[in-house]
Amino acid sequence: MKFKSLAVVATVLAALAAPVSAQIKEHVFKVGIGLSEDHPQALAVKYFAEQLSAKSGGKMQARLYASGALGNDVSMTSALRGGTLEMTVPDTSTLMSLIKPFGVLNLPLTFNNEQEADALLDGPFGQKLLAKLPEKGLVGLGYWENGFRHVTNSRRPINKADDLVGLKLRVIQSPLFLDTFNALGTNATPMPFTELYSAMEQAAVDGQENPPATILASKFYEVQKHLVLSRHMYSAWAVLMSKKTWDGLSPQEQKIVQEAAREATLYERKTIRAFGDKALAELKKVGMQVTELPPAEQAKLRTKLQPVLAKYAKEFGEDTTGELMSELAKVRGSAPAAPAAAK
**Alpha-carbon distance values, 266 to 25, 85, 214, 238, 275 (Å):** 27, 24, 19, 14, 14
- The answer, yes or no, to whether residue 285 has pLDDT greater than 80, is yes
Rounded distance between C-alpha atoms, residue 177 and residue 305, angstroms: 11
- The answer, yes or no, to whether residue 7 has pLDDT greater than 60, is no
Q: 15-19, 104-108, 160-164, 174-178: which has the minimum mean pLDDT?
A: 15-19
- The answer, yes or no, to whether residue 335 has pLDDT greater than 50, is no
- The answer, yes or no, to whether residue 282 has pLDDT greater than 90, is yes
- pLDDT, mean of residues 316-323: 94
pLDDT of residue 208: 98
- The answer, yes or no, to whether residue 59 has pLDDT greater than 80, is yes
SS3 of residue 84 by DSSP: coil
- The answer, yes or no, to whether residue 132 has pLDDT greater than 60, is yes
Residue 16: count other Cβ atoms within 10 Å of its Cβ: 7
Nearest to 234 by CA among 124, 320, 330, 148: 148
| Confidence tier at 343 by pLDDT (50, 70, 90) | very low
Provide DSSP, 146-166.
EEEEEEEESS----SGGGGTT
- pLDDT, mean of residues 257-275: 96
- The answer, yes or no, to whether residue 19 has pLDDT greater than 60, is no
Q: What is the DSSP letter of 39?
A: S
Provide DSSP, 107-160.
-TT--SSHHHHHHHHHSHHHHHHHTTSGGGTEEEEEEEEEEEEEEEESS----S
Rounded distance between C-alpha atoms, residue 165 and residue 185, angstroms: 4
pLDDT of residue 23: 84
pLDDT of residue 107: 95
pLDDT of residue 302: 95
Q: Please provide the CATH number assigned to the domain covering 25-342.
A: 3.40.190.170
Domains of the chain, by residue range, sit at: 25-342
- The answer, yes or no, to whether residue 117 has pLDDT greater than 70, is yes
pLDDT of residue 277: 87
| Confidence tier at 332 by pLDDT (50, 70, 90) | very high
Give the percent of the chain with pLDDT over 90: 85
End-to-end CA distance of the chain: 80
The pLDDT tens digits of the residues spanning 171-199 come to: 988 899 999 999 999 999 999 888 999 99
Provide DSSP, 173-236.
S-HHHHHHHHHTT-EEEE--GGGHHHHHHTTSSSEEEE-HHHHHHTTGGGT--EEEEEEEEEEE
The mean of the pLDDT values for the chain is 91
- The answer, yes or no, to whether residue 337 has pLDDT greater than 60, is no
- pLDDT, mean of residues 294-323: 95
pLDDT of residue 296: 95
Cβ partners under 8 Å of residue 25, min gap 6 = 59, 250, 253
**More confident call, 14 vs 323:** 323
Cβ partners under 8 Å of residue 18, min gap 6 = none
- pLDDT, mean of residues 71-87: 96
Rounded distance between C-alpha atoms, residue 38 and residue 31, angstroms: 15
pLDDT of residue 235: 92
- The answer, yes or no, to whether residue 292 has pLDDT greater than 70, is yes
How far is Cα of residue 208 from the mean position of the Cα atoms in its chain?
17
- pLDDT, mean of residues 20-33: 88
Return the C-alpha torsion angle 5, 10, 12, 18, nearest 10: -170
pLDDT of residue 173: 84
Burial class (CB in 10 A: 0-12, 13-18, 19+), 208: buried
